[in-house]
Structure 1
């Protein structure tokens, strides 16, 4: 059985920095950036992209739908 590799894309313009996704991520892939978006909110970004397992917990808890999760099955 192949391993699942995940990747996320964050809509940084819409993100309000609520950090719900940071708490929901079991792999600690997401962190709050030190930068702010055009609305003045700090946004989240993937810092450990290789650790993402594509569980989609971050996308599920995001109240504004700012996170898209991609999954790819890797061959052994």
Structure 2
């Protein structure tokens, strides 16, 4: 079962805690800067490795991450 992550780049304060907990290293620091001056996290999963485990969303202090799981 796969997953997809959506990060609200304007809510993200660039703490990158989500990056540290992703077991598949699918989150990275964006080169772009949001309106608050932070480099938000970005989701990169070209091979579809995300399982939708929600660790990233649980770790996010700003509640800037939504996780969607594919139906079996």
Band the TM-score falls in, shorter-chain normalisation: over 0.9
Q: Which residue of 2 aligns with 1:19?
A: 16
Unaligned runs of 5+ in 1: none
The alignment covers a number of residue pairs equal to 71
Give me the TM-score of the superposition, normalised by structure 1.
0.88
Runs of 4+ off more than 6 Å: none
Question: Greater strand share, 1 or 2?
Answer: 1
Give me the TM-score of the superposition, normalised by structure 2.
0.92
Q: Distance in 2 between matches of 1:48 and 1:7?
A: 9
- SS of the counterpart of 1:42? coil
Larger Rg, first or second structure (1 or 2): 1
From 43, 63, 66, the equivalent of 2:64 is 66
